[in-house]
Amino acid sequence: DSGVTQTPKHLITATGQRVTLRCSPRSGDLSVYWYQQSLDQGLQFLIQYYNGEERAKGNILERFSAQQFPDLHSELNLSSLELGDSALYFCASSTTSGNTIYFGEGSWLTVV
Amino acid sequence: SQQGEEDPQALSIQEGENATMNCSYKTSINNLQWYRQNSGRGLVHLILIRSNEREKHSGRLRVTLDTSKKSSSLLITASRAADTASYFCASLPAGNTPLVFGKGTRLSVIA
């Protein structure tokens, strides 16, 4: 158990809908990362937050947004969903050093 | 775009054999890490090697780093069926931007 908790574990939704994925980082970790894993694109970095502030942005679509709250949990919002958004979405967290990151078990999103 | 590229994409070996996976990256790094992922599960950190290190061991794992060639290798000795998983290298670019992962090597260890 990495200590990173993600909910929901599985989600099926229709195209055009909006979903929110939630992540609780390891106790004491200030950095939260979101990654998307699909068969054809591999593991893609989406966005990083550090202590509530956006720290780095990767290949995150404009339809997606995220935030980190004062209690350090984070949410990833996916809107106007398309079939191609079906993927495994991972949250990860790290200490301030950011060297090793700890992954949650992921949220499986299926868009139908 | 992906910074790391693993080679081979898939590897199948017999239990007891050694498994070697290679990784290449594109830019200067602070460190390189290897992660393991069982099917459909989260990634688990295995080992980290810093840019000023050339080799590191952890149990049955041996990692090498050649910064002149921008490459790393992961050796798993005396493999077991339980080692079956995907293995990813991840490089931490200079400037401490987030880890960039390769597409992984799928290792199958046959009992």
Q: Is the Cβ of B98 closer than 8 Å to some Cβ of chain A?
A: yes
Contact between B101 and B2 (Cβ < 8 Å): yes
Q: What is the CB-side half-sphere exposure of residue B14 using CA atoms within 13 A?
A: 1
Least CB–CB distance from A105: residue in B42, B99, B103: B42
B:21-80 residues touching chain A, CB 8 A cutoff:
31, 33, 35, 40-45, 48
The string of pLDDT tens digits covering residues B61-95 is: 999 999 999 999 999 999 999 999 999 999 988 77
What CA–CA distance (Å, rounded) separates A57 from A4?
21
What CA–CA distance (Å, rounded) separates B7 from B20?
9
* Whether A106 and B2 lie within 8 Å, measured CB to CB: no
Contact between A31 and A52 (Cβ < 8 Å): no
Share of residues in chain B with pLDDT > 90 (%): 76
Q: Label residue A104 by pLDDT band (50, 70, 90).
A: very high
Q: Choose among A8, A19, A36, A13: nearest CA to A110.
A: A13
* Whether A43 and B103 lie within 8 Å, measured CB to CB: yes
- Per the model's pLDDT, the better-predicted residue between B102 and A12 turns out to be A12
What CA–CA distance (Å, rounded) separates A70 from B110?
48
- Residue A87 burial (C-beta neighbours within 10 Å; 0-12, 13-18, 19+): buried
Q: What's the average model confidence in pLDDT over A39-44?
A: 82
pLDDT at residue B53, as a whole number: 97
B2 has pLDDT over 60: no
- Per the model's pLDDT, the better-predicted residue between A75 and A42 turns out to be A75
pLDDT at residue B110, as a whole number: 96
Least CB–CB distance from B41: residue in A48, A102, A105: A105
Contact residues for A72 (Cβ-Cβ < 8 A; gap 6+)? A24, A25, A29, A30, A32, A51, A52
What CA–CA distance (Å, rounded) separates B94 from A4?
26
B21 has pLDDT over 80: yes
Region of residue A68 (left: phi > 0; alpha: psi -120 to 50; beta: else): beta
Q: How far is CA A77 from CA A70, A93, B17, B54, B73, in A?
A: 17, 18, 45, 41, 37
Q: Label residue B1 by pLDDT band (50, 70, 90).
A: very low
Q: Which residue has the tokens 């301030």?
A: A96
The string of pLDDT tens digits covering residues B26-36 is: 988 999 999 99
pLDDT at residue A41, as a whole number: 74
Mean pLDDT of chain B: 92
